[in-house]
Amino acid sequence: MSTFADRFQSQRYRNDEPCRVFLQPDPRDEESPPTNEFWVPERLVERLHHLGLAYELPLLSRVSSTEDWSYPEVQAFSLQRELAFLMAHVSDPLLAAALEPFEALLTESIRHPRGRSIVVETPY
User: Under 8 Å CB-to-CB from 52, ≥6 apart: which residues?
Assistant: 59, 60, 61, 62, 63, 82, 86
Name the residue among 86, 78, 67, 59 with its Cα closest to residue 19.
67
From CA 25, how far away is CA 42, in angstroms rounded?
Answer: 24
Q: Are 82 and 59 in contact (CB under 8 A)?
A: yes
Q: Are 95 and 44 in contact (CB under 8 A)?
A: yes
pTM: 0.87
Q: What is the pLDDT of residues 79-105, one digit of tens each?
A: 999 999 999 999 999 999 999 999 889
Q: What is the pLDDT of residues 41-63, one digit of tens each?
A: 999 999 999 999 999 999 999 99
